[in-house]
Amino acid sequence: MPSFVLPPAPPTVVSTSSGDLFPVRRVFCVGRNYADHAREMGSDPNREPPFFFAKPADAIVGGGTVPYPPATANLHHEVELVVAIGRGGADIAVESALDHVWGYTVGLDLTRRDMQEIAKKGGRPWDMAKGFDASGPVGVLRPVTEIGHPTRGAVTLDVSGQRRQTGDVSDMIWSVAEVVAHLSGLVTLAPGDLIFTGTPAGVGAVSRGDRLEARVEGVSDLTVTLI
C-alpha cells in the first residue's frame, strides 16, 4: 500500500458550541453583498448576480492573536456572517438551500487593500490580497438546531473600543439561501465548505496591537488582536 511522501497537513477545523470540531473543506466569499459597502467601494449596489472569490482552507483561524501580514501597509477589516455547509449538492434550489446549512458564525475577511487596489487596476487576480495566512478568523460555530436561520441581527465590529462597522443581516442584497443556491450552480458544494456572506459599510485600516471585536447578534462573537 502506498504511503505519503510527506506528512499530510493537519486538517483545518472550527470549534462548535458543543465542543466538537467542524472540518473545513473550502472557503468561499461573496463580494459586495451589502449596498452601503458596495457604494463605499465605488460600485453599483443593484442586484447583479453575486460574484465569489476564495481563501485557502488553512486561512481559517480562531480567536486570539493573529499576525499582521507582510507586504501591506493598508490591512482592512471586514466583519461577516459565515455559513457552514453540512450537506452538499449542485444546482440547489433557493427553496431548499437552507436545508444544506449546518450552522453559522461570525468571521473577519482580512484584506490587504493596497495589494487589492493594485490588482484591480492591473486586471489581475485578488488571491494574494484576500488569501494570505490567517486571513479568515472565525468565531465558534453554532448549529441551525440551536439558533435556526438568522434573517436579521446586528453585524458589528469594534476596533480597540471604537465602533467601525454596523449593519444587519437583513441588509444583505442576496440572502443566505440565494447565495447558497447561486454558488451551487458554479461549484458542487460539499460538507465542510464555509461561505463568508459579505460585509457592511465602514471597512478601514487596522494596525499592529489593535483589538478587533466582531459580532453577529444572536449568532457568535469573535475577538482577535493583531500582533
How many other C-beta atoms can be found within 10 angstroms of the C-beta atom of residue 134? 18
Measured at the alpha carbon of residue 54, what is the angle toward residues 48 and 178, in degrees to the nearest 5?
40
State the Cα–Cα distance between residues 159 and 207, nearest whole angstrom: 10
Does residue 11 surpass a pLDDT of 70?
Answer: yes
Domain assignment present for residue 125? The answer is yes
Domain assignment present for residue 33? The answer is yes
Q: What is the pLDDT of residue 117?
A: 96
Q: How many domains does the chain have?
A: 1
C-alpha torsion sign, points 219, 164, 174, 196: negative
SS3 71: coil
42 — pLDDT class (breaks 50, 70, 90): low
Is-contact 174 106, C-beta < 8 A?
A: no
Domain assignment present for residue 182? The answer is yes
Q: What is the pLDDT of residue 39?
A: 61
| Number of residues that make up the chain | 227
Does residue 37 surpass a pLDDT of 70?
Answer: no
pLDDT digits (tens, 9 = 90+) for 140-195: 999 999 999 999 999 999 999 999 999 999 999 999 999 999 999 999 999 999 99
The reply to whether the predicted model has a pTM over 0.85 is: yes
- The whole domain housing 86 covers 13-226
CATH of the domain at 200: 3.90.850.10
State the Cα–Cα distance between residues 67 and 20, nearest whole angstrom: 26
Domain assignment present for residue 2? The answer is no
The percent of residues above 70 in pLDDT, for the chain, comes to: 95
